[in-house]
Amino acid sequence: MKTLTVFTPTYNRAYCLETCYRSLVSQDNQDFTWLIIDDGSTDHTKEMVQEWIQEKKIDITYFHQENQGMHGAHNTAYKLIETELNVCIDSDDYMAEDAVENIVSFWEKHGNDNVSGIAALDATIDHQIIGSRLPEAIHSSTLFDLYYKHGVTGDKKLVYRTELTKLYPYPLFKNEKYVGLAYKYYMLDKQYELLLMNEVLCHVEYLPDGSSLNMYKQYLKNPRGFSFYRKELMMLPFGGKIYKYKQAIHYVSSNLLMKNPKLFIETPKKGLTVLAFPLGFLLYAFIISKTRTRLIERN
């Protein structure tokens, strides 16, 4: 059995998915399988992938499902993956040269059952590291501490042990397509740290139809998913008061968006939520204003 699964959730991304494919074909180390989770695409993704499978240049598994959003695609991937490690490479991104070799060799030297996986670097298509490098003075850290204790910035590429990513599945909410992926990562942070590897594993391009550039719309369309996410973050044992206060602000805005009369009953931090209500209301009004403005501009 191979060591690594590279999985790619995709939705109507046939126009850019080939770049990811070519980066995988060019890997010197082929100790991986590519799992494509087609999250309800209506373009020619299926036909294109079938051609790649017939080429037999790399090991490819294709799975099609009804559209569930990014977190739903991740749920499906984690159910299907059988290799020891997995890493997500989005459909508009591509793997760096020697990325598979760097992952496999690093894990062979340093991997163990006491860590959840590896944190490494993302870079732009111009080979500029996104945000900061990982701290050299330490060998491992939780993802939460990397950002809130060690001052790391920017997206990082995460390689996880598959048996752990099968834990804490993302909830699915009717007519919604978004739950923050960091929910699972922070749950694993409660028990494990990530090994740190200052190597670029992925080149990232933020396309106009990507979720990271449509966050206001996501807030408006997925309030239950955001509310769940913020409630979980408010309960993190390693989150400080200011951090939890910020989560409470977002919790308030999400519950106002879905007109939830049980806003103060369902919160895990009632006093904090009361204090956060004024700013939460302002955030709610800001989101409504931003989404209406963009709708007017498009029309």
Domains of the chain: 4-209 (3.90.550.10), 214-298 (no CATH)
Q: What pLDDT is attached to residue 230?
A: 98
Average pLDDT, the chain: 94
Nearest to 187 by CA among 136, 235, 242, 137: 235
Query: For residue 21, what is the enclosing H or E element?
Result: helix 14-25
* Burial annotation 4-25 (CB, 10 A radius, 16+ → b, else e): bbbbbbbbbbbebbebbbebbe
Query: For residue 35, what is the enclosing H or E element?
Result: strand 32-39
Which amino acid is residue 250, in one-letter code?
H
Nearest to 251 by CA among 232, 71, 241: 232
Q: What pLDDT is attached to residue 296?
A: 47
Q: What pLDDT is attached to residue 170?
A: 98
Q: What is the pLDDT of residues 143-197, one digit of tens each?
A: 999 999 999 999 999 999 999 999 999 999 999 999 999 999 999 999 999 999 9
Q: Which residues of the chain have pLDDT under 50?
A: 212, 295-299
C-alpha pair distances (Å), 138 with each of 84, 120, 196: 24, 13, 8
Structure tokens at 244: 């939890």
d(CA 11, CA 17): 10
Nearest to 88 by CA among 162, 139, 192: 162
Q: What pLDDT is attached to residue 295?
A: 46
d(CA 106, CA 120): 11
Nearest to 224 by CA among 264, 175, 265, 186: 175
**3-class secondary-structure state, position 110:** helix
C-alpha pair distances (Å), 231 with each of 142, 147, 262: 20, 20, 13
Beta strand pairing call for 4-10 and 32-39: parallel
Q: What pLDDT is attached to residue 292?
A: 74
What residues have CB less than 8 Å from 131, skipping those under 6 apart? 152, 153, 154, 155, 156
pTM of the model: 0.93
Q: What pLDDT is attached to residue 192?
A: 98
Q: What pLDDT is attached to residue 90?
A: 95
Q: What pLDDT is attached to residue 212?
A: 46
